[in-house]
Amino acid sequence: MLRAFLAIDLPSVLRPVLARVQEELKRSGADVKWVPVGNIHITLKFFGHIAEAQVDPIIEAASGITRAQAPFNLKVTGAGAFPTVTNPRVVWLGVGGDLAAMGDFYRKLEEAFAALGFPPEGRPFTPHLTLGRVKSPRNRVDLSRRLAALPPVESEAFQINEVILYRSNLSPQGATYSPLKVIPLAG
């Protein structure tokens, strides 16, 4: 058994932007488990624990969709939190750009994975970059204040040319991700 997810990785030029936002929010002293900057990605599908035998069918299903998907552009947009900025549980940066193409791509992937027995998400797809997860109420009010006061976070557009099936290894030090397969988009 292995833990797996399909994601869009980010260009390395975005890492300093993500780190700066995290550093500003860390000043709140809130009890947040911050995602290491190198692990931040856009999750397309979390499969959970799967058997080794399921890896190839997942890759084949994803490849069937990516072969017909032209590359599209995304960019990082403002910060926010789920469920709300005033009651943050997950702190994130938004994703903008060609969201229509991304949404269509996501729906096709969900259909392909549903055919393999992975049920679709029960909530609408909201592409985002998870920066951290709030662990307790400590300094949550200051975190909310800092989130609301952040200057606009906008990146240059970056092109999505591939998706990656990752293996996630959990340890007391946190999760480490290793690519199982890089799956290119058409073109």
Q: 76 and 26 in contact (C-beta within 8 Å)?
A: no
Q: What was the pLDDT predicted at 187?
A: 64
pTM (global) more than 0.75:
yes
pLDDT tens digits in sequence order for the chain, 187 residues long: 999 999 999 999 999 999 999 999 999 999 999 999 999 999 999 999 999 999 999 999 999 999 999 999 999 998 999 999 999 999 999 999 999 999 999 999 999 999 999 999 988 999 999 999 999 999 999 999 999 999 888 789 999 999 999 999 988 878 899 999 999 999 6
Q: Residue 160: exposed, middle, or buried by beta-carbon count in 10 A (0-12, 13-18, 19+)?
A: buried
Task: Give the CATH H-level superfamily of domain 2-184.
Answer: Cyclic phosphodiesterase (3.90.1140.10)
Q: Where are the domains of the chain?
A: 2-184
Catalytic residues: 41, 128
State the DSSP code for 34. E
- Residue 166's nearest CA partner among 46, 74, 36, 15 is 46
Question: What's the Cα-to-Cα distance from 175 to each of 6, 12, 39, 42, 65, rounded to whole Å?
Answer: 15, 19, 8, 16, 28
